[in-house]
Amino acid sequence: MNEILKCPKCNGDMIRGFIPDFANNFVKASSWFEGQPQKSYWNSFIKISWKGWFGKVGIPIAGFCCKGCGFIEIYSDPGFAAK
């Protein structure tokens, strides 16, 4: 994906960043998974089942934030994986 984007709202420069996922005492970049999440019965987290997302690899996501107006766009791309 082109790293240089212009904001669709104000035409300002957009800078790339990521959305951290805080879980189990570690931080990772968020990923996109197909389907709708379901709330876990035991807590406020998302349910993972053997037939659901377990073992699937998500597509890394990155956010681009406009320096001018703060508008954010989110994209998924395997190229956004942590390096």
Cα 47–48–54 angle (5° rounding)? Answer: 165
Q: pLDDT band at 50, cuts 50/70/90?
A: very low
Arithmetic mean of pLDDT, 18-28: 82
Looking at residue 28, the DSSP 8-state letter turns out to be E
Arithmetic mean of pLDDT, 31-48: 73
Does residue 79 have a pLDDT over 70?
yes
pLDDT value at residue 9: 97
Q: For the chain, which domains are there?
A: 1-31+56-83 (2.20.25)
Is 0.75 topped by the overall pTM? no
State how far the Cα of 5 lies from the Cα of 11, in Å rounded to an integer.
Answer: 9
State how far the Cα of 63 lies from the Cα of 76, in Å rounded to an integer.
Answer: 9
pLDDT value at residue 16: 92
Counting every residue, how long is the chain?
83
* Tokens standing for residue 2: 């082109």
